[in-house]
Amino acid sequence: MKASDPILEEIWKARDEHARRFGYDLKKICADLRRIEKQSGRRVVTRRPQRPSKTAGRRPLNK
């Protein structure tokens, strides 16, 4: 049974209304979010994706 959380329900409702305006088309939704982001005038930081090193996640050998 899912507990009722009014804050989460408000977020879900706003997200669903926004998605419905664009017919749930992810590309259109993202384009609108980028537009809103640019209009905000706030500095947006983006980082280039980094590939993990070849040894990432490996355990060191016990000698």
How confident is the model over 2-58, as pLDDT tens digits? 678 999 999 999 999 999 999 999 999 999 999 999 999 998 888 888 887 777 666
- The answer to whether residue 47 is domain-embedded is no
Q: Which domain holds residue 27?
A: 6-40
The predicted model scores a pTM of 0.60
Q: Domain tally for the chain?
A: 1
Spatial contact of 44 and 37, defined as CB atoms under 8 Å apart? yes
With a cut of 80, say whether residue 59 has pLDDT above it.
Answer: no
Specify the pLDDT at position 45: 85
How is residue 36 written in tokens? Answer: 């809103």
- The answer to whether residue 14 is domain-embedded is yes
- The answer to whether residue 45 is domain-embedded is no
- The answer to whether residue 26 is domain-embedded is yes
Q: How far, in Å, CA of 61 to CA of 58, rounded?
A: 9
With a cut of 70, say whether residue 60 has pLDDT above it.
Answer: no
Specify the pLDDT at position 24: 97
**C-alpha angle with apex 41: 48 to 7, nearest 5 degrees?**
85
